[in-house]
């Protein structure tokens, strides 16, 4: 059984960085709604700037650094994947469609057989 590890923010500076990042997002949202009379360009500009600033603060914190390292490792792993060729993809798709058709026919035939057994042979409703 795999043990799950829960990581917590322990230092006060890390908590402060995450708090500042959250406050910047909230401030950006507040500015977006409070600057409604200034026009959409000012609204969206304030929101985007606040989110960029929040991301900058977040990625200086340890949690942000870990997220960046995770993203880097993930992209490195995705590059290692051997993707199927077009021919292989079309073959597998054809196999799936053929299986679905065969299963549909099998289930239809089973349904009709059970219907015939119950209604015609046992109950004699027809």
Overall number of domains in the chain = 2
DSSP 54-93: HHHHHTTSHHHHHHHHHHHHHHHHHHH--PPPHHHHHHHH
pLDDT band at 54 (very low <50, low <70, confident <90, very high): very high
Residues 120 and 77 in one domain: no
What would the pLDDT profile of 87-121 be if each residue is shown by its tens digit?
999 999 999 999 999 999 999 999 999 999 998 88
Look up the domain containing 105 and give its range. 84-126
37 and 62 co-located in one domain: yes
The verdict on 73 and 47 lying in the same domain is yes
4-50 pLDDT, tens per residue?
676 665 688 889 999 999 999 999 999 999 998 999 999 999 999 99
Model pTM? 0.57
Q: For the residues of 29-43, what is the DSSP string, one character each?
A: HHHHHHTGGG-HHHH
């Amino acid at each position: 059984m795999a043990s799950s590890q829960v990581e917590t923010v322990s230092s006060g500076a890390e908590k402060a960085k995450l708090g500042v990042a959250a406050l910047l997002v909230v401030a950006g949202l507040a500015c977006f709604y409070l600057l409604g009379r200034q026009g959409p360009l000012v609204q969206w500009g304030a929101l985007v700037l606040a989110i960029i600033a929040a991301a900058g603060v977040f990625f200086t914190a340890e949690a942000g650094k870990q997220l960046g390292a995770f993203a880097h490792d993930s992209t490195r792993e995705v590059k290692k994947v051997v993707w199927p060729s077009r021919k292989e993809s079309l073959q597998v798709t054809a196999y799936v469609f053929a299986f679905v058709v065969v299963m549909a026919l099998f289930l239809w035939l089973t349904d009709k057989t059970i219907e015939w057994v119950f209604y015609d042979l046992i109950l004699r409703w027809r």
